[in-house]
A and B are shown apart, each in its own frame.
Chain A
Amino acid sequence: MKFWRKPLDADKIQIPHGELHIVWERCKGCSFCVEYCPREVLELSIEFNSKGYHPPVVKKPDDCVKCGLCEMLCPEFAIWVTEKEVDKVES
């Protein structure tokens, strides 16, 4: 992540980075994850899955900060986040 100057606490605070996993065929297209993602990482796909729902797709994969809200809100257990490498703060 790039800031206009190096934050003073950059050595203490590391921004986590998440990798999203979506089970395409398990999703029932409720779009809770799309609606409540605080970083607007997801969007509904144009394609259907075999049940006829529109599962989410990752729109901005680099913006995910692994807050895990999509994982907790998903009623279908079809989306989860795992930790990716920690971002280096640049200035």
Chain B
Amino acid sequence: MSETQVIGKTPQKAEEHPMAKILRMDRIPHIWCSTCGIGTALTSFATALEKVNIPLDHICVVSGIGCSGRIAGYVKLDSFHSTHGRALPFATGLKLGNPKLKVVVISGDGDIAGIGGNHLIHSARRNMDLVVLCINNFVYAMTGGQTAATTPLTAITSTSPYGNYERPFNLPHLAASCGAVYVARWTCLHVRRLAKSIEEAINKKGFSFIEIIAPCSTIYARRNRLGDGLDLMKFYHDNAIIKHGADTRELDIGYQDKIIVGKFVDIERPTFLDSLNAWNKKVLGEKFREYGGPND
């Protein structure tokens, strides 16, 4: 049904959404559940893109599989919907194939930390020039709510009906200890801070990792009897503590516990391509021609 006819009830205007130049409005409404936080994370990303001074042709979005993996299909940018857990290798290839691109990986916790965990640590170790937005909703939501690598202790999931007993990942600490140059964590409620953080990460050279805590109403909140996404948003409002520069070792998330958010790491380190060019120049001398892209 057309929007122009039904937009009604309130001011009668059928203009387009201001983010329509970044989003594929013909694909909306999206598949995410009511009160899911992934849409909010996407609006923050779109807001950040409006502010960064990079032409949209030079920004690529890569995502893996999962609820958040659908983002690649909803953005009007060059985007990849890659295989499960392999968003980071795809993005690495894209970046090395054309270093002029700004590659943003948006995917879920199951994709980046669970199945693609090895790719995460190696991309961070090499300091690939990528922006990783890891949308953490604590479960494998799309496949039915199995225990993920980030499920907090004692939380109930479909594969841990008596509570989870596996220690979850502390994602900012993992990324920071592997060598990420920009590490932050925000919840879906901190939309403006998140947008600013994404903007900083896009402008930063090197491996930037932002964990976004998102409410999952249908799977996580329902099984744990936490209400819906709005209740989780209220929970974030009451329990998120902003602590910039906090020690990443203390950022574990317990079940319905305080969540420390903020920007934790912001350092400078040579990226993979910088190291490659510098080292080969040192070893090969004049023979080596710096790699800067396919047309160089």
Enumerate B216-259 residues with CB–CB distance to A below 8 Å.
228-230, 233-234
Question: Nearest B residue to A50 by beta-carbon distance?
Answer: B1
- Size category of the A interface is 20 to 34
**Cβ contact within 8 Å between A22 and B3:** no
Residues of B within 8 A of A75 (CB): 32, 35-40, 42-43
**Cβ contact within 8 Å between A58 and B11:** yes
Question: Nearest B residue to A56 by beta-carbon distance?
Answer: B10
**Cβ contact within 8 Å between A82 and B43:** no
- Shortest beta-carbon distance from A1 to chain B in Å: 20
- Shortest beta-carbon distance from A36 to chain B in Å: 8
- Shortest beta-carbon distance from A37 to chain B in Å: 13
Residues of B within 8 A of A69 (CB): 191
- Shortest beta-carbon distance from B240 to chain A in Å: 14
Q: Does B34 contact A (CB under 8 A)?
A: yes
Q: Does A19 contact B (CB under 8 A)?
A: yes
Residues of A within 8 A of B230 (CB): 30-32, 35
Q: Does B13 contact A (CB under 8 A)?
A: yes
Given A25-B6, A71-B18, A71-B43, A30–B191 Cβ distance below 8 Å?
no
Given A72-B191, A72-B195, A77-B23, A30–B35 Cβ distance below 8 Å?
yes
Bound-state Cα–Cα, A2 to B229, Å: 38
Interface size on B (CB < 8 Å)? 40
**Cβ contact within 8 Å between A19 and B11:** yes
**Cβ contact within 8 Å between B8 and A30:** no
**Cβ contact within 8 Å between B30 and A76:** yes
A30 touches which one: B7, B229, B234 (CB < 8 A)?
A: B229
Proximity string of chain B (160-200) to chain A, C-beta cutoff 8 Å, 1 when within and 0 when not: 00000000000000000000000000000101100100000
Question: Nearest B residue to A31 by beta-carbon distance?
Answer: B230
Bound-state Cα–Cα, A5 to B261, Å: 42
Residues of A within 8 A of B47 (CB): 72
Excluding A75-B42, A77-B19, 12 further A-B contacts by CB distance (< 8 Å) are A21-B7, A21-B13, A24-B10, A25-B1, A32-B40, A35-B234, A72-B43, A72-B191, A72-B195, A74-B39, A77-B23, A77-B39
**A residues with CB within 8 A of B:** 19-26, 28-32, 35-36, 45, 47, 50, 53, 55, 57-58, 61, 69, 71-77, 80, 82
26 of the cross-chain contacts (CB-CB < 8 Å) are: A20-B10, A21-B10, A21-B11, A22-B10, A23-B3, A23-B7, A26-B29, A28-B29, A30-B34, A30-B229, A31-B230, A45-B9, A47-B9, A50-B1, A71-B43, A72-B191, A73-B43, A74-B39, A75-B35, A75-B36, A75-B40, A75-B43, A76-B28, A77-B17, A80-B17, A80-B18
